[in-house]
Amino acid sequence: MKIAMITASPKVGKSASSILLKECKTWITTHTENSDTYEFVEIVLNKPIIEDSVLNKINSCDVLFFSFPLYEDSIPSHLLSCLVQLDQTNQEHVIDLKNKYVIALVNCGFYEGIQCEVALEIMQHWCTHTESIFIQGIGLGGGGCIEGIERVPVGVSVKKVLATVYSHILTVLAKCDLSLSDKNTDAIPGDNQYFSISMPRWLYLFSAHRMWKNAIRKNKRIA
Ligand SMILES: Cc1cc2nc3c(=O)[nH]c(=O)nc-3n(C[C@H](O)[C@H](O)[C@H](O)COP(=O)(O)O)c2cc1C
């Protein structure tokens, strides 16, 4: 099964979305017995237009796994533009989104993953519209610290919850794989799941405030 691992943060270079996707890929590969089960295609959507070569890559995959940040309780505008382009090219039969599986992992700066609910609903509507199959939505709160804790192993300390998140995605993918071979698309979709990073809320807020104050001091020095 071919999976498009789509990093859709507008940031150039490293982002919480890219780190989560990379870790999830490693988790899937190391927790799957047969290494041929999944083939990954890495895609970065950080601009409002998708190039033809990238469209072709997306088209060649069975699963579209989007990882992106929450912006203003919604999806980043460049991603919205990409989704519109995908829809248009689908309607023009340049690509075929029908029956492709879609997973959305949204991370947000707030502590509570439920903040991502509306963004996941937007993705669900897009899937209904394009006749793709939304199989799993995940909202992860505490995304602001993902870059800072990149070196912490998954499943340990503040990243304990990520083992649960990635295991859940793996279970969903395994069901997709079965469904692909059985041509049975009814069995899959699960309810959206919401998580927070594994640290107390007060500690997350305290760390975030300290980080922002340091950034302000640094900017003042530069100005
Ligand atoms: C323009 C902008 C809008 C944002 N809006 C929200 C928001 O509405 N709710 C929230 O919890 N976080 C919000 N955030 C925080 C990001 O979702 C958070 O920092 C995320 O971890 C960034 O992920 P990335 O590194 O993958 O881009 C916003 C950040 C930016 C830059």
Note the pLDDT of residue 35: 81
Q: What is the pLDDT of residues 144-191, one digit of tens each?
A: 999 999 999 999 999 999 999 999 999 999 988 776 666 555 556 679
Note the pLDDT of residue 41: 98
Note the pLDDT of residue 117: 98
User: Using CA of residue 142, residue 148, residue 154, residue 156, what is the dihedral sign?
Assistant: negative
| Tally of structural domains, the chain | 1
Q: Is the CB of 140 under 6 A from ligand 1?
A: no
Note the pLDDT of residue 201: 97
pTM: 0.94
Q: Which residue's CA is the nearest one to ligand 1's atom 1?
A: 71
| Chain center to CA of 178 | 22
Q: Is the CB of 196 under 6 A from ligand 1?
A: no
Q: What is the pLDDT of residues 94-121, one digit of tens each?
A: 999 999 999 999 999 999 999 999 999 9
Q: Is the CB of 20 under 6 A from ligand 1?
A: no
Note the pLDDT of residue 188: 63
Query: Is the Cβ–Cβ distance between 46 and 8 less than 8 Å?
Result: yes
What is the domain range of residue 114? 2-222
Note the pLDDT of residue 211: 86
Give distance in angstroms: CA of 19 to centre of ligand 1: 15
Q: Is the CB of 107 under 6 A from ligand 1?
A: yes
- Per-residue tokens: 21: 């996707």
HEC profile of the chain: CEEEEEECCCCCCCCHHHHHHHHHHHHHHHCCCCCCCCEEEEEECCCCCCCHHHHHHHHCCCEEEEEEECECCECCHHHHHHHHHHHHHHHCCCCCCCCCEEEEEEEECCCCHHHHHHHHHHHHHHHHHHCCEEEEEEEEECHHHCCCCCCCCCCCHHHHHHHHHHHHHHHHHHHHHHHHHHCCCCCCCCCCEEEECCCCHHHHHHHHHHHHHHHHHHHHHHC
- Per-residue tokens: 66: 């989007």
Note the pLDDT of residue 219: 86
What confidence tier does 192 reach under pLDDT thresholds 50, 70, 90?
very high
CATH number for 152: 3.40.50.360
Q: Is the CB of 51 under 6 A from ligand 1?
A: no
Note the pLDDT of residue 176: 84
